[in-house]
Amino acid sequence: MAGYGLRILGRVIILLILIAALAAGGLVWFDYLNVVDAKAVLTPFYRFIGLEPRSQEDLPDEVLSLDAERLAVRLEAQELRSMELDRRETDLLTRQGEIEQMAEELEERQKALDERENSMNAQREDTENKQKNVEQYARYLNGMPPERAVGIITAMNDQDAIDVLRMTETIAQAEGTASIVAYWLSLMPPERAAELQRKMAGRPSSLN
């Protein structure tokens, strides 16, 4: 029974020695890789085995710290990400500027279309109102004695007189009656009648 206990104790001691050796070897290796700085701890060990302890200056230039390398990689990744974010921000600002410019152009075009539509509506209303006024005036003249009507028409400017004469013919055609325009022209001075007839033949109606 005592022999069995000694064997277990011997194994434990061997394992402890093996663990210590592995730990010491790992510490030496990590110190060599400059992962950890264990020179202060390893200096007595180096001297015990007859080796000169290494200093920081003795390390070769190609041996880099893994922590420093990881930090450099992270900094590079962050810099790349920052550059990408800056590029995206610039693209977004550029795109936003283009969209705002397009919106302004569309707004200006819409205003121009609205103004044009309002102008056309106003012109159409003016034309419709003028046409109604001319129709009423033509009916009024058609209802009075021809000599008096001719005197009024002769005193008008050419375009107003032409509009009244044309409207009188239009009313007669719509109502299926004979037009009095030819008779009015016959009562006018020959020069005035000829001038109005010439312009009526060559000039489109101002009401169309």
The pLDDT, as a whole number, for residue 118 is: 85
Both 124 and 186 in one domain: the answer is yes
For the chain, the domain total comes to 2
8 domain-assigned: yes
Instruction: State whether residue 206 is helix, strand or coil.
Output: coil
CA distance 103 to 99: 6
27 and 117 assigned to the same domain: no
Domain holding 142, by residue range, is 100-202
What's the mean pLDDT when you consider all of the chain? 79
In this structure, are residues 134 and 156 in contact, taking their beta carbons and an 8 Å threshold?
no
Are residues 175 and 112 part of one domain?
A: yes
Q: What is the pLDDT of residue 153?
A: 92
User: Which of 29, 30, 47, 31 minimizes the C-alpha distance to 39?
Assistant: 31
The Cα 170–Cα 8 span in angstroms is 133
Q: Please tell me whether residues 111 and 34 are part of one structural domain.
A: no
φ, ψ dihedrals at 159, nearest 5°:
-70, -40
Among 126, 161, 121, 111, residue whose Cα is nearest residue 141: 161
Q: Please provide residue 148's backbone torsions phi and psi, each rounded to the nearest 5 degrees.
A: -70, -45
Residue 62 lies in a domain: no
Q: Tell me: do 108 and 191 sit in the same domain.
A: yes
Binning pLDDT at 50, 70 and 90, where does residue 62 land?
A: very low
Mean pLDDT for the stretch of residues 167-190: 91
Query: Which tens digits make up the pLDDT trace of 92-144?
Result: 999 998 999 999 998 898 988 888 888 888 888 777 788 888 889 899 998 89
Residues 193 and 111 in one domain: yes
Given pLDDT bands bounded at 50, 70 and 90, which one contains residue 203? Answer: low
